[in-house]
Chains A and B, each alone.
Chain A
Amino acid sequence: GEDVEQSLFLSVREGDSSVINCTYTDSSSTYLYWYKQEPGAGLQLLTYIFSNMDMKQDQRLTVLLNKKDKHLSLRIADTQTGDSAIYFCAETLYSSASKIIFGSGTRLSIRP
């Protein structure tokens, strides 16, 4: 079936790197995404990776995809207070390109 899982919470010290992990079950994923949601707001697309890629880097963000283990991670370098938010992992499937499936979201909190 279609399932995307994430840990619910992550706390990191300001300036450290944050690594948010995600696992998915459907091997027919086409694109995998990371979205950021700040309190009371909609979702902001941070980055995405096509399923035939292993890694993508965009400034402070690094996405790693292990397709064999169906594991996706988002690394945020030099984490800042403005990075506090909920981060959602999501996927679209080859069988249903219109449907996007979200994980439960990881709440990232930054401590001084």
Chain B
Amino acid sequence: GAVVSQHPSWVICKSGTSVKIECRSLDFQATTMFWYRQFPKQSLMLMATSNEGSKATYEQGVEKDKFLINHASLTLSTLTVTSAHPEDSSFYICSARVNRTANYGYTFGSGTRLTVV
């Protein structure tokens, strides 16, 4: 089945540094990938939609200069949290739509837990 690999699974960084999270589709091409943020005991909040070869579409309230998204190939999208602060600590999850399925199915990565100290 369709697999999305997300890396790293967890990261601790110092305030002011940048962190890059990668999301790869392993056995399919993903023209569109999605980045979510999840606070403890809360639902997933869509941050942005990443489109291969074009600019990402950000949801209202999400700072595009803070959360840089790059989708340079059909199998890789990256999210870079720039100048991270403790309030950016969260669980970040990517997903991709598997176009070949009939149910608009979405496959999710395993998530990245970011802790900013």
Contacts and interface: CB of A to CB of B under 8 A. Distances in A.
A44 B2 CA distance: 12
Contacts of A100: 34, 46, 95, 106
Contacts of B103: 31, 48, 50
Interface stretch (B12-20, B64-72, B80-88, B107-115): B107-115
A105 B105 contact: no
A84 interface: no
B24 interface: no
B93 interface: yes
B46 A43 contact: no
A45 B34 contact: no
A16 to B, nearest CB: 24
Contact of A45 (B41, B44, B105): B105
Nearest to B113: A40
Interface of A: 30-31, 33, 35, 40-45, 48, 50, 88, 92, 97-100, 102-105, 107
Interface of B: 6, 32, 34, 41-44, 46, 49, 91, 93, 95, 97, 103-111, 113
10 contacts: A33-B106, A42-B111, A43-B44, A45-B105, A45-B106, A50-B103, A88-B43, A98-B97, A99-B49, A104-B42
